[in-house]
C-alpha cells in the first residue's frame, strides 16, 4: 500500500489546489442508463444499464487501470467523466472542487484538466485536416492565437516522437496506426491536462508499436506530472502500467485494489476468470476449456442478485437473491482490496464465506496463473 | 503548455519518408482526377456547353424567335440553316444555343439553392439528432413521399408558369433528397471520435460544425448535388413540356422537344436534336459526379 | 438420406489423410501495380502444409499475411494484381484455375474466416439464410436440407439456442456469436483447408479463448488443415503446429510452434517476443523495435530487417540472406544464423551497437 502513496508527485505542481493527499478525481455514485426507444412515438421501452452506480477515486500521479469485457461500460464511464454524455446521477470532484456546480470547477476548467485518448485511431482524427491542425484546434478554441497554437502543435509532435517538419502537414491516412495514436496523445496533451483518460489507447496496435507507445506514455507521465486512467482489456498491459486496478462487470465495479494484490490474489471469481484468460506463450500450456463460458448477459435485464451469478462456478442460492456489496470505495484506503462477492463477506450466507472471526482467504486463489 | 523541451523523446530515424509527395486534400483529389480521362473529357464537354450557352447571343447566327413559314422543317445540313429549322421555320442552331441558356440555368441554379438550403437543414438535423432531427426529417419526408415529377407539377401548377417560378419549384423539389444525404453523412461524421475529441476540448457547436463536420460532409453532398443537375434539367424540360415552365416562343430544350414532337415523322433528325442535347448534358454531369466520387475518396 | 448430407463431419476427411504435403506454395510473389507505384506485398513465400496441420502466420501489420491468404483463394482484383509462383491445394492448381473452377473450390475445398465478421456476413440476410444458401449452392440440395444443415452447423459451433439464432440478423448477435456464425458459414461445405485471418483479434480475451478452443476442436475432428493468421504470439501458441514469421512479404522464420515461439533465432522474432508485454517489471522501459516496417513500394536490398536490426553488419545490407534450415525443419533467414550441432543458432559475432540510436 505504500507503493501507491509513493507515486504521488514529489515536486509541487503550480496547478495543484488540494494538496498531494487530495485525490485528483473523485467519482461519486455515477450512473448512466441509455433509453431504448421503439415504435412510432419513440416511446422508451427499456433501459441499458451501462454504468450503474460507480464510485471510486484516482490519486494524483497514479495510474488507475480499468478492465472488463467489452460492453461492460468502460467507454461509457470514460465519456461520462469527460462530460461527453450527460450523466443521470452522480458527482465528480476534481482536485477538491465539485465539477459543474456553482461553487466548483466550470466545465471549461474540467476540460482543460481532463483529456482523453480514444480507442480507434482511425476515427479519432479528422481525415480532412493535417494533423498539425488537429492538434492546434483545442488550444485555438481555448483562446490561443493561431500562430502560437501551431507552434505548440509542432513542439508536441516532437514530444511524442514525430518530426514536425516531416509529419505536421500529413493527413491521418498517411500515417500508420502507431503514428496516429501518437498524434492522438499529442492532441490530448495540447490543453496541458493533469488527468489523461486512455480508452483502449494501445489495443489496436501491433505488439512492438504498443511497447513504443507505452514507453512514451511512461516518459510523458514523468515529465508532465500526469495522472492516468488506463482502460484496456489486455490484462498484461494493465498489470505493467497500473498502480491500482478496477474491475468492471455489467456496469458495476466488482473488485478494486492495488495491482499486485489483484493479480496475485483475486478475490472475485470474475477477476480470477479474466486472469485465467491470459494466454501463455508456451505451446505446451494450452487452455483446454475456456475459463469463462458464454457472453456477458444483456445489460438491459441484468441478472438479479449478484450480476455474475449466471457464469459463476461458485454460485449459491444467496447469490441469486442478494446483491453482494463492494464496500465504501470512497472511504477505503488506496491500499485496500475490495470485492463484491458473497464469498468475501463474513456472514453473507455463502458456504465459502469466511468465519466472522477469521481473515477472508479465498479458496480459488491457487487456480490462477 | 508551459515549456516543452523539443525532441525530448527520441525520434526514430527510420520513420520512412513518404515515397510520394505529401499533398493537401484538394491536391490529392486533383491528382486522382488528372488521370481519369473520362471525367476530364466530360468536364471539358460541360465547359463547352456552358460557354456556348453563355455566348449564345454572339454565337447564334439568327434570331431564335423569328419564324418563317417558308422555311419550315428544313433538314440538317441546309445551306442557310446548318441544323435545320423547326415547325415554325425558326433556326434550330440558334434555338439550341439560346435554349441551352434556359436549360442550364434550370439545371444549375435550383441545385445550388437546394444544396445550400437542404444541406444546412440536413447538417443541423444530423448533428443535433433527437427532436430537431425528427421535426426536420419528418417535414422532408412529407415532400419526399411524392414522386418528384408529381410534386413539381403540383407546385408549378399553383405558382404558375415563368422562369422564376420554375426555378422555385425545382429548388423545393430538390431540397428533400439533398437534405437526406447531408443528414446521413453528418450523422455518420457525428459518431466519429474526432468530433467528441473536439467537444472535449471545449469547442462550441458552431466551431465544430464549421471546422470538422462541414469539410467531411461536403464531398458526399457535392457529389450527390452534381448528379441532381441532370435531373433538374430533365424535370425542367418536363415542366416546359407540360406548359408549366417557360412559355413559347422562348427557347428551352424541353419545350423544343415538346413542340417538335409532331414533326417527328417529317424531320426525325431535327426533332431529336433537343433531346440529344438534354441526353448529352445529363450523361456528362452524371459521369463527372461519378469521377468526383472516386477522386474524393481519401482512403486511396 | 444421402451420404453427403450426413452430419458427421469427422469421417469424411479423416479417411483420405496422407502423409505428404496437402498445401504447397512455392516462391509466391504478389505485386499490386498502380499508376503511382508497385507495392511488393509478398516476395517469395514458400511453405508446405500437411493434412490436418495448423500453420500460424505471425507478423506485424502490413507484412503481407492477409495478401498471402487471399491469393490462395484468388480474391485479389485481377486487373491490378500480379501473382507468380506455385500454389497447390491437394490436386488443384490455384495458379491455373479458372474463375469457374475457383468458385467451386471456394467453400468446398478451401474456405476463409475474417477478422471482422460484420463485413463478411451480409447484414440483410439472417444467419440461417446465409448458411443454407452456401450449402444449397455447393451441394445442390433443396432449401429444407440447407436449413437443416444450418441448424446442425450452429450446434456444431456451439451457438446457444441455435433455432432462435438461425433467424437472427448479424447485427443482433454479439461479437463472439457472430464469429461463430461466420465459422459455421465457412465450415458449411466441409472444407479441407480453412484460412483464418485474425479471427479472434476483435474479440475479448474471454471470448477469444472460447473461439480458439472451438476452432482447435473442430479442426481436429474434421481433420482439416488450417492456416491461421495472427499477430498475437499467445494465440499462436494456443493453436499452431507450425509457425511462420513474416516480415516485409517474406517468411523469415519457420518451424515447429515450440521451436519458434520458445527458442526463436531470427533477430526480428526475438525482438518481437521481447517487446510483447508479459510480466515486465512495472514501469520498466520496454524493449521495442526501432523504426517502422519497410515501405513495400521501395524495398531495401539485402535483409529487409537490416535497417532496424541491432545486429546488422555491412553484408546484411547487400544481399538477401539465404534460408538456413536445421534437422528439425527450423528455418531462419538471417546471415548470422548457422546450424550448430544440428540446431539453428544465432551468432551475432561482435556484439554490435544498435543500428539506430
Ligand atoms: N489491393 C491492394 N492494393 C495495393 N496494396 C495492397 C492491397 N492489399 C494490400 N496491400 C498492401 O500490401 C501490404 C500487406 O498487406 P496485408 O493486408 O497482407 O498485411 P497484414 O500482414 O495482413 O496486416 P494486418 O496485421 O494489419 O492485417 C500492405 O502494405 C498493404 O497496404
Ligand atoms: N449511446 C448508446 N445508446 C445505447 N446503448 C449504449 C450507448 N453507448 C453504449 N451503450 C451500451 O452500454 C453498454 C456499455 O458500453 P461501453 O461503455 O461502450 O462498453 P465497453 O467500453 O466496456 O466495451 C453496452 O451494452 C453498450 O451497448
Ligand atoms: S456473489 Fe456468488 S455468484 Fe457472485 S461472484 Fe460471488 S460466489 Fe459468484
Ligand atoms: S541478416 Fe543481418 S540484418 Fe538481417 S536479421 Fe540477420 S543480423 Fe539482422
Ligand atoms: Mg470500449
Ligand atoms: Mg491482415
**Chain C closest-CA separation from residue B130 CA (Å):** 23
Residue A89 has a pLDDT of 92
CA pair distance B290, B223, nearest whole angstrom = 8
What's the mean pLDDT when you consider all of chain C?
85
Residue A60 lies in a domain: yes
For B215, the closest chain A residue by CA position comes to A128
Residue A349 lies in a domain: yes
Name which of B39-43, C23-27, C187-191 the model is least confident about.
C187-191
- Residues in A touching B15 (Cβ below 8 Å): 162-163, 166-167, 179
CA pair distance A254, A325, nearest whole angstrom = 9
Contact criterion met (CB below 8 Å) for B94 and B64: yes
Q: Contacts by A324-329 with C-beta closer than 8 Å and gap 24+?
A: A324/A348, A326/A252, A326/A253, A326/A254, A326/A255, A326/A256, A328/A55, A329/A55, A329/A56, A329/A57, A329/A253, A329/A256
CB burial readout B172-194, b (16+ within 10 A) else e: bbbbbbbbbbbbbbbbebbebbb
pLDDT tens digits along A204-257 = 888 888 898 999 999 999 999 999 999 998 899 999 999 999 999 999 999 999
Residue with CA nearest ligand 2 atom 18: A75
Average of pLDDT values for C210-226? Answer: 91
- Residues in C touching B19 (Cβ below 8 Å): 37, 295, 297-298
Q: What are phi and psi of C276, to 5 degrees?
A: -75, 130
Is residue A107 scored above 80 in pLDDT?
A: no
CA pair distance C221, C215, nearest whole angstrom = 10
- Same domain for A146 and A89, yes or no, is yes
Residue B24 has a pLDDT of 64
Cβ within 8 Å, pair C286-A293: no
> Chains with 3 or more CB pairs closer than 8 angstroms to B?
A, C
> Chains with 3 or more CB pairs closer than 8 angstroms to C?
A, B
Residue C14 has a pLDDT of 43
Pairing of strands C193-197, C225-230: parallel
Domain boundary among A205, A222, A242: A242
Residue A358 has a pLDDT of 55
pLDDT tens digits along C127-152 = 898 888 888 888 888 889 999 989 98
Average of pLDDT values for C283-305? Answer: 87
Contact criterion met (CB below 8 Å) for B104 and B282: no
Cβ within 8 Å, pair B4-A155: yes
Cβ within 8 Å, pair A236-C273: no
* 3-state DSSP assignment of residue A57: strand
Residue A252 lies in a domain: no
Q: What are phi and psi of A178, to 5 degrees?
A: -65, -40
Mutate to test the interface with B, among A126, A135, A218 (most CBs of B within 10 A): A126
CA dihedral A201, A206, A207, A208 (to 10 degrees): -110
- Same domain for A206 and A69, yes or no, is yes
- Chains B, C: CB contacts within 8 A come to 24
The answer, yes or no, to whether any atom of ligand 1 lies below 6 A from the CB of C64, is: yes
- Residues in C touching A177 (Cβ below 8 Å): 61
Q: Relative to the CA of C267, which ligand 4 atom is closest? A: 5
What's the mean pLDDT when you consider all of chain A?
87
Question: Is residue A78 classed exposed, middle or buried when 0-12, 13-18 and 19+ CB atoms within 10 A define those classes?
Answer: buried
78-117 in chain A: CB under 8 A from chain B: 79, 82-84, 107-108, 111-112, 114-116
Q: What percent of chain A has pLDDT over 70?
A: 92
Cβ within 8 Å, pair B15-A128: no
Closest CA to B99 of B227, B290, B258, B229: B258
**Tally of CB atoms within 10 A around C326:** 20
**Chain A closest-CA separation from residue B291 CA (Å):** 19
The answer, yes or no, to whether any atom of ligand 3 lies below 6 A from the CB of A237, is: no
Q: What percent of chain A has pLDDT over 90?
A: 53
Domain count, chain A: 2
Q: Which residue has the cell 472475485?
A: A268
> B12 — contact with chain A (CB < 8 Å)?
yes
Residue C226 has a pLDDT of 95
Mutate to test the interface with A, among B4, B134, B138, B300 (most CBs of A within 10 A): B4
pLDDT tens digits along C99-119 = 888 888 888 899 998 877 777
Cα C63 to ligand 1 centre (Å) = 7
- Same domain for A282 and A228, yes or no, is no
pLDDT tens digits along A310-352 = 999 999 999 999 999 999 999 999 999 999 999 999 888 888 8
Per-residue pLDDT of chain B (300 residues; tens, 9 = 90+): 333 333 333 333 334 444 344 566 677 788 888 888 899 999 999 999 999 888 888 887 777 777 777 777 777 777 777 777 777 778 888 888 888 888 888 888 999 999 999 999 999 999 998 889 999 999 988 887 888 788 888 888 888 777 888 889 999 999 999 999 999 999 999 989 999 999 988 889 999 999 999 989 988 898 899 888 878 887 887 887 777 777 667 778 877 877 787 777 777 777 788 888 888 888 898 888 888 888 877 654
- Same domain for A70 and A197, yes or no, is yes
Contact criterion met (CB below 8 Å) for B194 and A124: yes
Contact criterion met (CB below 8 Å) for C254 and C240: no
- Same domain for A168 and A224, yes or no, is yes
- All structural domains of chain C, each given as residue ranges with its CATH number in brackets, are 2-16+23-109+191-346 (3.40.50.300)
Write the CB contacts of A83 (distance below 8 Å, at least 6 apart in sequence): A99, A100, A107, A110, A111, B200
Residue A366 has a pLDDT of 40
Is residue C354 scored above 80 in pLDDT?
A: no
pLDDT tens digits along A280-299 = 888 888 888 888 887 788 88
- Same domain for A237 and A276, yes or no, is no
- Same domain for A226 and A300, yes or no, is no
> A239 — contact with chain C (CB < 8 Å)?
yes
Residue B53 has a pLDDT of 87
Cβ within 8 Å, pair A126-B2: no
As a whole number of angstroms, the longest Cα–Cα distance in chain B is 90
Pairing of strands A227-231, A63-67: parallel
Of residues A233, A279, A295, nearest to C174 (C-beta): A295
> A231 — contact with chain B (CB < 8 Å)?
no
**Chain C closest-CA separation from residue B55 CA (Å):** 39
Which structural domain range is residue A359 located in? Answer: 271-369
Predicted model pTM:
0.82
Residue A2 has a pLDDT of 41
Residue B117 has a pLDDT of 96
- Same domain for A119 and A234, yes or no, is yes
Residue A44 has a pLDDT of 82
Residue A65 lies in a domain: yes
Contact criterion met (CB below 8 Å) for A50 and A32: yes
Strand order in the sheet with C38-50: C38-50, C21-33, C81-89, C92-93
Contact criterion met (CB below 8 Å) for B233 and B167: no
- Same domain for A283 and A355, yes or no, is yes
Domain boundary among A242, A258, A284: A242
Contact criterion met (CB below 8 Å) for A126 and A172: yes
Residue B218 has a pLDDT of 87
- Same domain for A80 and A208, yes or no, is yes
Average of pLDDT values for C208-220? Answer: 90
Q: Which residues on adjacent β-strands are paired with residue A43?
A: A38
Average of pLDDT values for A100-114? Answer: 78
Residue A337 lies in a domain: yes
- Residues in A touching C176 (Cβ below 8 Å): 295
Average of pLDDT values for C276-292? Answer: 85
| Helix segments in B22-87, DSSP class H | 25-34, 37-54, 56-59
> A206 — contact with chain C (CB < 8 Å)?
yes
Give the CATH number for residue A213: 3.40.50.300
- Same domain for A79 and A118, yes or no, is yes
- All structural domains of chain B, each given as residue ranges with its CATH number in brackets, are 35-54+90-295 (1.10.3720.10)
Domain boundary among A242, A257, A288: A242
Cα C277 to ligand 4 centre (Å) = 24
The answer, yes or no, to whether any atom of ligand 3 lies below 6 A from the CB of A324, is: yes
The answer, yes or no, to whether any atom of ligand 3 lies below 6 A from the CB of A312, is: yes
Average of pLDDT values for C170-193? Answer: 85
Mutate to test the interface with B, among C35, C60, C286 (most CBs of B within 10 A): C35
Residue A164 lies in a domain: yes
- Same domain for A208 and A289, yes or no, is no
Q: Contacts by A259-263 with C-beta closer than 8 Å and gap 24+?
A: A259/A65, A259/C282, A260/A3, A261/A337, A262/A337, A263/A235, A263/A239
Average of pLDDT values for C212-236? Answer: 92
CA pair distance B33, C35, nearest whole angstrom = 13
Amino acid at each position: 500500500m505504500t507503493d501507491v502513496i509513493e507515486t504521488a508527485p514529489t515536486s509541487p505542481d503550480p496547478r495543484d489546489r488540494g494538496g498531494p493527499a487530495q485525490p485528483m478525481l473523485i467519482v461519486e455514485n455515477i450512473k448512466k442508463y441509455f433509453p431504448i426507444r421503439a415504435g412510432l412515438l419513440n416511446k422508451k421501452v427499456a433501459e441499458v444499464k451501462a454504468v450503474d452506480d460507480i464510485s471510486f477515486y484516482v490519486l494524483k500521479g497514479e495510474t488507475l487501470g480499468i478492465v472488463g469485457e467489452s460492453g461492460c461500460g468502460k467507454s461509457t464511464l470514460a465519456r461520462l467523466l469527460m462530460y461527453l454524455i450527460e450523466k443521470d446521477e452522480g458527482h465528480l470532484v476534481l482536485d477538491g472542487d465539485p465539477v459543474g456546480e456553482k461553487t466548483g470547477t466550470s466545465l471549461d476548467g474540467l476540460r482543460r484538466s481532463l483529456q482523453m485518448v480514444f480507442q480507434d485511431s482511425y476515427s479519432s482524427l479528422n481525415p480532412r485536416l493535417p494533423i498539425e491542425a488537429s492538434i492546434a484546434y483545442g488550444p485555438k478554441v481555448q483562446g490561443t492565437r493561431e500562430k502560437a497554437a501551431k507552434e505548440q502543435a509542432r513542439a508536441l509532435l516532437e514530444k511524442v516522437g514525430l518530426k514536425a517538419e516531416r509529419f505536421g502537414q500529413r493527413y491521418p491516412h498517411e500515417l500508420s496506426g502507431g503514428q496516429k495514436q501518437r498524434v492522438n496523445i499529442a492532441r490530448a496533451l495540447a490543453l496541458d491536462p493533469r488527468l489523461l483518460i486512455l480508452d483502449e489507447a494501445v489495443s489496436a496496435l501491433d505488439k512492438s508499436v504498443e511497447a513504443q507507445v507505452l514507453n512514451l506514455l511512461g516518459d510523458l507521465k514523468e515529465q508532465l506530472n500526469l495522472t492516468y486512467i488506463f482502460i484496456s482489456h489486455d490484462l498484461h498491459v494493465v498489470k505493467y502500467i497500473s498502480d491500482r486496478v478496477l474491475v468492471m462487470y455489467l456496469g458495476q465495479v466488482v473488485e478494486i485494489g492495488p495491482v499486485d494484490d489483484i493479480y496475485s490474489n483475486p478475490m472475485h471469481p470474475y477477476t480470477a476468470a479474466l486472469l485465467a484468460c491470459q494466454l501463455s506463450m508456451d505451446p505446451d500450456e494450452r487452455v483446454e476449456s475456456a475459463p469463462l463460458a458464454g457472453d456477458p448477459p444483456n445489460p438491459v435485464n441484468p441478472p438479479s442478485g449478484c450480476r455474475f451469478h449466471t457464469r459463476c462456478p461458485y454460485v449459491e442460492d444467496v447469490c441469486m437473491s442478494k446483491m453482494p456489496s463492494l464496500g465504501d470505495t470512497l472511504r477505503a484506503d488506496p491500499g485496500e482490496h475490495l470485492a463484491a462477492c458473497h464469498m468475501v463477506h463474513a456472514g453473507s450466507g455463502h458456504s465459502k464465506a469466511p468465519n466472522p472471526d477469521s481473515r477472508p482467504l479465498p479458496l480459488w486463489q491457487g487456480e490462477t496463473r | 503548455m508551459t515549456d516543452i523541451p523539443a525532441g525530448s523523446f527520441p525520434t526514430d530515424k527510420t520513420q520512412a519518408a513518404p515515397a510520394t509527395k505529401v499533398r493537401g486534400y484538394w491536391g490529392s483529389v486533383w491528382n486522382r482526377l488528372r488521370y481519369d480521362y473520362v471525367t476530364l473529357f466530360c468536364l471539358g464537354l460541360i465547359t463547352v456547353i456552358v460557354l456556348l450557352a453563355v455566348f449564345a447571343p454572339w454565337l447564334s447566327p439568327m434570331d431564335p424567335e423569328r419564324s418563317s413559314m417558308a422555311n419550315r422543317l428544313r433538314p440538317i445540313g441546309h445551306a442557310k440553316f446548318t441544323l435545320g429549322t423547326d415547325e415554325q421555320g425558326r433556326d434550330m442552331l440558334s434555338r439550341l444555343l439560346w435554349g441551352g441558356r434556359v436549360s442550364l440555368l434550370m439545371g444549375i441554379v435550383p441545385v445550388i439553392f437546394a444544396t445550400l438550403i437542404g444541406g444546412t437543414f440536413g447538417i443541423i438535423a444530423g448533428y443535433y439528432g433527437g427532436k430537431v432531427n425528427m421535426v426536420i426529417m419528418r417535414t422532408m419526408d412529407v415532400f419526399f413521399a411524392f414522386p418528384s415529377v408529381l410534386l413539381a407539377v403540383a407546385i408549378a401548377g399553383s405558382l404558375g408558369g415563368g422562369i422564376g417560378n420554375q426555378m422555385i419549384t425545382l429548388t423545393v423539389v430538390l431540397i428533400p433528397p439533398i437534405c437526406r444525404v447531408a443528414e446521413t453523412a453528418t450523422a455518420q461524421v457525428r459518431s466519429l471520435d474526432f468530433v467528441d475529441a473536439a467537444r472535449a476540448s471545449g469547442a462550441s457547436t458552431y466551431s465544430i460544425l464549421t471546422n470538422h463536420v462541414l469539410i467531411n460532409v461536403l464531398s458526399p453532398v457535392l457529389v450527390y448535388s452534381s448528379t441532381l443537375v441532370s435531373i433538374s434539367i430533365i424535370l425542367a424540360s418536363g415542366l416546359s413540356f407540360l406548359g408549366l415552365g417557360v412559355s413559347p416562343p422562348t427557347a428551352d430544350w424541353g419545350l423544343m422537344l415538346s413542340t417538335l414532337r409532331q414533326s417527328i415523322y417529317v424531320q426525325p433528325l431535327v426533332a431529336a436534336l433537343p433531346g440529344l442535347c438534354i441526353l448529352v448534358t445529363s450523361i456528362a454531369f452524371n459521369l463527372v459526379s461519378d469521377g468526383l466520387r472516386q477522386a474524393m475518396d481519401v482512403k486511396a | 438420406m444421402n451420404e453427403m448430407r450426413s452430419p458427421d463431419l469427422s469421417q469424411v476427411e479423416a479417411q483420405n489423410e496422407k502423409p505428404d504435403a496437402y498445401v504447397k506454395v512455392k516462391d509466391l510473389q504478389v505485386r499490386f501495380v498502380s499508376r503511382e507505384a508497385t507495392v511488393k506485398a509478398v516476395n517469395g513465400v514458400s511453405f508446405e502444409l500437411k493434412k490436418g496441420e495448423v500453420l500460424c502466420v505471425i507478423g506485424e501489420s502490413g507484412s503481407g499475411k492477409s495478401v498471402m491468404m487471399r491469393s490462395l483463394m484468388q480474391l485479389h482484383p485481377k486487373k491490378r494484381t500480379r501473382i507468380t509462383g506455385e500454389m497447390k491445394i491437394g490436386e488443384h492448381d490455384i495458379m491455373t484455375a479458372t474463375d469457374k473452377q475457383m468458385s467451386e473450390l471456394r467453400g468446398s475445398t478451401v474456405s476463409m474466416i475474417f477478422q471482422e465478421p460484420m463485413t463478411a456476413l451480409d447484414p440483410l440476410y439472417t444467419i440461417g439464410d446465409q448458411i443454407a444458401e452456401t450449402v444449397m449452392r455447393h451441394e445442390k440440395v433443396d432449401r429444407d436440407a440447407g436449413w437443416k444443415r444450418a441448424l446442425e452447423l450452429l450446434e456444431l459451433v456451439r451457438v446457444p439456442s441455435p433455432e432462435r439464432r438461425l433467424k437472427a440478423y448479424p447485427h443482433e448477435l454479439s461479437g463472439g456469436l457472430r464469429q461463430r456464425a461466420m465459422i459455421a458459414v465457412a465450415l458449411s461445405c466441409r472444407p479441407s483447408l480453412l484460412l483464418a485471418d485474425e479471427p479472434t483479434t476483435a474479440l475479448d480475451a474471454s471470448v477469444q479463448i472460447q473461439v480458439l478452443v472451438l476452432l482447435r476442436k473442430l479442426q481436429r475432428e474434421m481433420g482439416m488443415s488450417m492456416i491461421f493468421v495472427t499477430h498475437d504470439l499467445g494465440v499462436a501458441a494456443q493453436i499452431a503446429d507450425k509457425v511462420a514469421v513474416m516480415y516485409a512479404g517474406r517468411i523469415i522464420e519457420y518451424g515447429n510452434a515450440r521451436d519458434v515461439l520458445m527458442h526463436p533465432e531470427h533477430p526480428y522474432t526475438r525482438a518481437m517476443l521481447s517487446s510483447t508485454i508479459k510480466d515486465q517489471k512495472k514501469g520498466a522501459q520496454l524493449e521495442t523495435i526501432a523504426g517502422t516496417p519497410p515501405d513495400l513500394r521501395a524495398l531495401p536490398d539485402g535483409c529487409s530487417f537490416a535497417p532496424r536490426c541491432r545486429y546488422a553488419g555491412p553484408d546484411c545490407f547487400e544481399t538477401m540472406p539465404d534460408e538456413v534450415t536445421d534437422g528439425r525443419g527450423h528455418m531462419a533467414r538471417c546471415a548470422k544464423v548457422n546450424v550448430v550441432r544440428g540446431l539453428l543458432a544465432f551468432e551475432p559475432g561482435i556484439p554490435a551497437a544498435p543500428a539506430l540510436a
